Structure 1
Amino acid sequence: MTRKKGPIWEHFQIINNNTPHPHVRCKYCPKEFKRAIPERMQDHLSKKKCQELNNIDSQSTQQNTTLIIGNSNDLLSKEEKKVLEYLLSKVLSSSPNKEIVTMHMDDNSDVTLSGIRNLGFCYQYGIETEKNEIQAFKLYDEAAKKGDIYSTYQLGYCYQHGIGTEKNATKAFKSYQAASDMGHIDSTYNLGKCYEVGIGTEKNYDKAFKFYEKAAEKKHIISMYNLGLCYDLGLGTEADVIKAFILYNKSAEKGYLDSMHQLGYCYEVGKGTEKNKTKAFKSYKAAADMGHIDSTYNLGKCYADGIGIEKNYDEAFKLYERAAEKGHVVSMHCLGIYYEYGMGTEKNETKAFKSYKAAADMGHIDSTYNLGKCYEDGIGIEKNYDEAFKLYERAAEKGHIVSMHCLGICYEYGMGTEKNESKAFESYKAAADMGHIDSLHHFYEVGMGTEKDETKAFESYKEAVDMGHIASISHPEMCYQNGIETEKDEDYFARLYVSLFNTRNNCHL
């Protein structure tokens, strides 16, 4: 049976695979572990390969539980030594014997600097010691000043996010720049990000593109994706959706979830490649299975709309629910619709109301409108015109056209607010100017909130009819038949009815 490895084991394995590390020697024999590899140490001690250890009285062994750190150059403080002792003792704790070992700090400066940096990492994340971001920052700063490239990068990260020090975007930029000049790929990527969004320097898409390109050439996965976005959106370079697709594909093959998602979109709409809904579905599914929230939502839409798969509202509901639980606001809205109309689940107006409210509270405009409708019509909540009015007003202020129209109705009939025909007219006009068909025309006809104007009423009705709104036909029809503000043409609407009948499925009744 394989012994379960803890987080410290994993930490030392990372150190072993990526950076030099202090040597460790068993106190009871000449055996030296060149890079303090936990697996070899545990194997040596737990399987009693150390012959001298076998001859030692077990009682005395249990009493000796401290580590002796040999450090001729005295490069680590007592506190830092204590952390190293604690870390290593935890690594060996699953062994049947907690032996004394001697740790040798190599004279090699790179080893020493990596030790200081790794201690900073332990303090930053609280690995087997109390979390202390200030101490972590000090250690990164110390190692960075001595030329440690990784600590220079980490220092930039601390300055950018305010870890152990005050946020300082300028110093973050300079640290990334210094590490990038020394060949640190993540810093090269971060430098591109700084130029893209303006962190510690002015925005410069040309330079952002160059740094993403430089890091992408060294196979930096996120840089490949960001370079794809640059080509996709024409940032710092001419737009080239084919190159964007190629980069998304390369990054997706390396397992980068955002690229898988973007690849799905490219296949769905035919961007940079031929449209392939089946591949779109598969790309979204691959990313969703690995926890990508946007892809989980898009996969739900695939099931809802039959994109690359047969329609299945049950599956769509499950995926919207999964994404909503992770805070995906559009999925919360969709969940509300599914609960309201019983799609893929039993109808539940109370849950519909709660879903709309959750999304509205996060600023989703359509959900804000839907929540207003819930209060107006008593869907999952008692009717409350005051709340409905407030929500329509909030959504209308953010440009929601239907909410503007509903606000007009509230003002016209005094629902949730005092009657105000002038404000009703203003709301209807705002909605009409943005293309809402039902707004405005009857106000010109009867002169409510504005001067009566039969010409404008006719023009407004005719515009609605020309856009395919059948319910508006009778109003301009009367004008044509009776010659109100227009020449008589009794056959015009006979022709129009036939035309609209042929496209009735696309009309808004």
Structure 2
Amino acid sequence: MTDTIEQAQELLLKGDFPAALAMYTRLYKGPYSDEDRGTAAIMLAQMYACGMTGEVNDKLADDFLAKSVKLQSPLGLFMVESKDPDIPSADFEKLVKKVKKLADKGNTFAMIEMGLMYEFGHHRRVNLKKALEWYEKAASLGHVDAMVRAGWILENEDFKEYDEHKAFLWYLKSAAMAYGNGECQLGCCYRDGIGTERDMSRALICLEKAAAHGSTEAAMVLYEIYSGEGMEYEEDSRFRDKEKSFTYLKLAAQRGEGEALLRLGQMYYKGEGTKADSEKAEQCYRKAWDAGNTVAGTMLGLINIYGKGDPESMKKGISYLSQASQEGDNDAFRELALCMLYGRGVDINEELGLKVLENLAEEENEPLSITALGNWYMNQKDPEKALPYFRQAADLGEPNAEFALGFCYLSGTGVPRNLRKAQELLQRAAMKGQAEAEKVLRTHFS
């Protein structure tokens, strides 16, 4: 039997993504009409973009989008032209009529494109209600990505018909079809108690399935959970697992998540969840720096200044910090100031170093700079000046300041000894992964 667009869509809506992918590929490559080949190309673009192939592949998605446009696919043209602010209104309206006609005939991708037009205001006023209508129409036919998009709108507190539980149900339905993005959203609902009871065990099951089915977002969420980053509930500390956090972060980095590449470098550098490896850390930072991440420049500076220490590397490190600071990275400004204070790679200039830190503390309310000022005055044997900085940064949730202030209460440095306050502060720092706080707690409070 000859393959048809309708058969391919039927497979897609049943959740048989491998079979749908294979059929759309045959339709695109085979001796079919330009119309069918163009439709197949745009559907392949969507499948690769949404991760229905097991992993998001933006390059193939863009390639198939370009092929669909070349074949004059109304959907491909609509995707491109809807984002062009200079397209004549009359030309765009002609495309809208073609796409709506396809949607009315049951093409679920056309329905999604109609929804996107209203959701993001492409040559229209934003109208979330109309967007939701189109998404739910496609979702009711079984389109998993439409289910997720419907959920996103229903989860939006600014939407008049906001309904967390309904959003949860759409995510649940898409997850039941083993769609990675749906499993990820469902996992986040269980993690945060959105539309259902909070259940971290179920959250992890959903998120791990999502990561296995190609969701880069799920891999990042799992990294955050297992690393303890941004932990809101103390009971979630039982899920901390540095090796698992490293595994999922590495997976996200391999799938092209830029922020993951930077954080992976940090884990290699600190030896968190894996063996410390400054060379691999530097490789990650260089890739991130080449991709335009200014924070990576700061980290390259730190590796060269602290990790190598020879005069040539120190000079190179200062150069990286200077470039990153010129790009506006506050961390680079702070690290340059510390180099001035302690004479690392540059001549000591205490006046300028303190001025930079004070500006960051006052103008940016930057916790690490505030903590650095506290450390400086503590090193100068002046706890009276140090303690206000530690308190200020601890109030902002900076774990290094919480540790420093907790240790002051433990040792009675500059304040009356207070074991209760010390333990409270050290526990706050330890929950955020502050290693020294964990050691002190084990030594003095176990």
Structure 1 pair 333/441, CA: closer, same or farther in 2 (3 Å)? closer
Who is 1:356 aligned against? 285
Structure 1 pair 278/178, CA: closer, same or farther in 2 (3 Å)? same
- Cα distance in 2 for partners of 1:231, 1:385 equals 53
The answer as to 2:95 corresponding to 1:175 is yes
Q: Which amino acid aligns with 1:291?
A: G
- 1:275 aligns with one of 180, 194, 198: 198
Structure 1 pair 359/152, CA: closer, same or farther in 2 (3 Å)? closer
Where 2:367 maps in the other structure, the secondary structure is coil
Alignment check: 8 A CA contact 1:216 1:224 kept: yes
Who is 1:429 aligned against? 359
Alignment check: 8 A CA contact 2:376 2:386 kept: no
Structure 1 pair 176/250, CA: closer, same or farther in 2 (3 Å)? farther
The answer as to 2:145 corresponding to 1:222 is yes
Where 2:160 maps in the other structure, the secondary structure is coil
Matches within 5 A, 1:320-469: 320-364=249-293, 367-379=296-308, 384-393=313-322, 402-412=331-341, 415=344, 419=349, 421-422=351-352, 424-431=354-361, 433-436=365-368, 437-440=370-373, 461-465=387-391, 467=394
Q: Which amino acid aligns with 2:100?
A: S
- 2:35 aligns with one of 117, 122, 145: 117
Mean CA deviation greater in 202-211 or 283-292: 202-211
Tell me by how many angstroms 1:263 deviates.
1.2
Contiguous gaps of at least 5 residues in structure 2: 10-26, 44-62, 229-234, 395-400, 437-446
Who is 2:78 aligned against? 156
Tell me by how many angstroms 1:377 deviates.
0.7
Who is 1:34 aligned against? none
Q: Which amino acid aligns with 1:277?
A: M
Q: Deviations over 1:328-387 (max 9, x none)?
A: 233323432343344444332211221232234334465443322102113599863444
- Cα distance in 1 for partners of 2:131, 2:387 equals 52
Who is 1:284 aligned against? 207
Alignment check: 8 A CA contact 1:213 1:227 kept: yes
Structure 1 pair 499/311, CA: closer, same or farther in 2 (3 Å)? closer
Q: Which amino acid aligns with 1:265?
A: C
Alignment check: 8 A CA contact 1:375 1:382 kept: no
- Cα distance in 2 for partners of 1:240, 1:194 equals 22
Structure 1 pair 470/335, CA: closer, same or farther in 2 (3 Å)? closer
Q: How many residues align?
A: 367
Give the superposed CA RMSD.
4.9
Tell me by how many angstroms 1:425 deviates.
0.6
- Cα distance in 1 for partners of 2:424, 2:237 equals 28
Q: Deviations over 1:79-124 (max 9, x none)?
A: xxxxx9x956xxxxxxxxxxxxxxxxxxxxxxxxx94512556899
Mean CA deviation greater in 394-403 or 199-208: 394-403
- Cα distance in 1 for partners of 2:67, 2:251 equals 39
State, as a whole percentage, how many aligned pairs show the same letter: 22
Contiguous gaps of at least 5 residues in structure 1: 1-8, 20-83, 89-113, 126-130, 141-150, 446-453, 476-490
Where 1:378 maps in the other structure, the secondary structure is helix
Q: Which is helix-richer, 1 or 2?
A: 2
- 1:17 aligns with one of 4, 7, 14: 7
Alignment check: 8 A CA contact 1:429 1:439 kept: no
Structure 1 pair 356/498, CA: closer, same or farther in 2 (3 Å)? same
Structure 1 pair 346/212, CA: closer, same or farther in 2 (3 Å)? same
TM-score normalised by length of structure 2: 0.63
Structure 1 pair 203/420, CA: closer, same or farther in 2 (3 Å)? farther
Alignment check: 8 A CA contact 1:169 1:199 kept: no
Q: Which amino acid aligns with 1:252?
A: A
Q: Deviations over 1:198-237 (max 9, x none)?
A: 4344544454344434444454432221121112233543
Structure 1 pair 363/122, CA: closer, same or farther in 2 (3 Å)? closer
Structure 1 pair 271/361, CA: closer, same or farther in 2 (3 Å)? farther
- 1:195 aligns with one of 118, 127, 141: 118
- Cα distance in 2 for partners of 1:424, 1:337 equals 27
Q: Deviations over 1:271-329 (max 9, x none)?
A: 22222222111111212222222223434555555979966555544443333222223
- Cα distance in 2 for partners of 1:303, 1:370 equals 23
Tell me by how many angstroms 1:412 deviates.
4.1
Alignment check: 8 A CA contact 2:35 2:71 kept: yes
Q: Which amino acid aligns with 2:75?
A: Y
Mean CA deviation greater in 326-335 or 382-391: 382-391
Who is 2:422 aligned against? 501
- The structure, 1 or 2, with the larger RCO (C-alpha pairs under 8 Å, 6+ apart) is 2
Where 1:384 maps in the other structure, the secondary structure is helix
- Cα distance in 1 for partners of 2:316, 2:373 equals 24
Mean CA deviation greater in 402-411 or 116-125: 116-125
- Cα distance in 1 for partners of 2:64, 2:414 equals 79
- Cα distance in 2 for partners of 1:232, 1:121 equals 31
Structure 1 pair 185/239, CA: closer, same or farther in 2 (3 Å)? same
Tell me by how many angstroms 1:420 deviates.
8.0
- Cα distance in 2 for partners of 1:410, 1:464 equals 21
Alignment check: 8 A CA contact 2:83 2:122 kept: no
- Cα distance in 2 for partners of 1:354, 1:154 equals 38
TM-score normalised by length of structure 1: 0.57
